[in-house]
Amino acid sequence: MTKFSEKFFCSAPWSNLYYQMNSPSPCHIIRNHHLNMTPQEYFDSNWLKRIKTDMVEGRIPPECNNCKYKEALGLKSTRGANWKYNNIGPEPNYEDMWFYNMFDADSPTEIRRLEVRFSNLCNMKCRMCDETSSSEWALEKKKHNLPTNNAFNNPNEIVDTNTTPIIRITEDKIAELKDINMLRKLRKVCFTGGEPFIIKEYYDYLDFLIESELSSNLEIELFTNCSVYNPLFVNRLNKFKYVELVMSIDGVGKTAEYIRHGMPWSTIERNVKLFNSLKNPFNLYFTVAISGYTLLDVANLARFYMEMYEVNNNISVKCYTVLMQSLRFQNAPDHLKHRMLAQIDEAIEILSVPNYDIFRNELKNIKAELGKMEKGNTKVFCEYTEKFDKIRDESFEETFGISLYP
């Protein structure tokens, strides 16, 4: 039998389609914005064929190094999620997976999971984000003449630069994603952003799925920053078989406002409680992007998670560790790492229910890495923090109660 860690295989190239504006790829980790193709052109491309060939022949495609790196640190990876393995419990065997010996390099891609980002329209500018996923980030970079992600300047995307730079998918591209034949094996649709609750195209695409009589057999996965609660969106989601409503909460109070700038915590907290009261078909999750900032106040985050668990014993958690150099916990100064270690110990004690095992286990593995106290790139961590503190009139020290420097 071959364990998860012994075979670097992922089913995503054969079963997933990630579509950010007008660019396809197997998953959100591989954001190949230069692949301006129709879905069918992508399925038939030599690029995708090469990814599949590497997987089948036991090589790790260079595009998959993010997952390889995380797994080497004992952290959760997107590849693991495709195996339904989140570092909890025994490693699964390849031979027990649904995709065992199902695919070869020439096997066609048949979409089971579709993840879409139709726009970067967002009302927040999270420190671990950028302008391709946040119009507020785009506006800030424009205002302060900061370098932009090359993907943002893609001529095949509609960009409104009159006020806030907004990227929108073109109508013809949405039409391509309404091909019923292409969707015949579809099981799950994932909406991310921007902020889905304020993206009109998502309302329209939900209507298409409902009117096409696909909703009764479909699962929806929706990631929201909890800045908006719109009953019109919620009513549409109610028509689906199963809904994973995933709330992106990386901190509480001042920490939340610092990491995910743009909305008062009181508004976020109110909406979290509204979402957490929803019944079937809604299944509630938190997701936490674990950056160095998160770890400095993670005990308070754990307390909030437990408060929400007391209201809804079915709520669970997803998480991932941020790999941006400027936010990696490994790059924080040593005195901040000591603070992180103490916070992690406290959070692990607080997160006492099985629903939060994934987060707790990720924290344990991060603690093991932090404990090595290896020298990271503290300059990039501190300079990034200071730059955006100045731009946004925020204070690291006032937020976390500790100086950025020793």
How confident is the model over 174-196, as pLDDT tens digits? Answer: 999 999 999 999 999 999 989 99
Which secondary-structure segment (H or E) carries 399?
A: helix 396-400
How many other C-beta atoms are found inside a 10 Å radius of the C-beta of residue 223?
20
375 DSSP assignment? -
Distance separating alpha carbons of residues 250 and 259, to the nearest angstrom? 7
Confidence of residue 10 (pLDDT cuts 50, 70, 90): very high
pLDDT > 70? residue 367: yes
For residue 166, the model assigns a pLDDT of 86
Distance separating alpha carbons of residues 109 and 147, to the nearest angstrom? 36
246 DSSP assignment? E
Calculate the average pLDDT of the chain: 94
**Highest-confidence segment of 21-25, 127-131, 154-158, 221-225:** 221-225
Nearest one of 247, 242, 366 to 298, comparing CA atoms: 366
Q: What is the mean pLDDT of residues 135-147?
A: 92
Least confident of 55-69, 164-178, 333-347, 369-383: 164-178
Give backbone dihedrals phi and psi of 245, rounded to 5 degrees, phi first: -100, 110
Side chain identity at residue 396, one-letter code: F
How many other C-beta atoms are found inside a 10 Å radius of the C-beta of residue 93?
15
Confidence of residue 199 (pLDDT cuts 50, 70, 90): very high
Q: What is the mean pLDDT of residues 30-46?
A: 83
Distance separating alpha carbons of residues 250 and 301, to the nearest angstrom? 7
Distance separating alpha carbons of residues 16 and 10, to the nearest angstrom? 10
Domains annotated for the chain, with CATH where assigned, are: 12-114 (no CATH), 119-180+189-400 (3.20.20)
pLDDT > 70? residue 202: yes
Q: Are 138 and 165 in contact (CB under 8 A)?
A: yes
Q: Write out pLDDT tens, residues 79-93.
A: 999 999 999 999 999
Q: Write out pLDDT tens, residues 243-273.
A: 999 999 999 999 999 999 999 999 999 999 9
pLDDT > 70? residue 386: yes
Distance separating alpha carbons of residues 193 and 121, to the nearest angstrom? 7
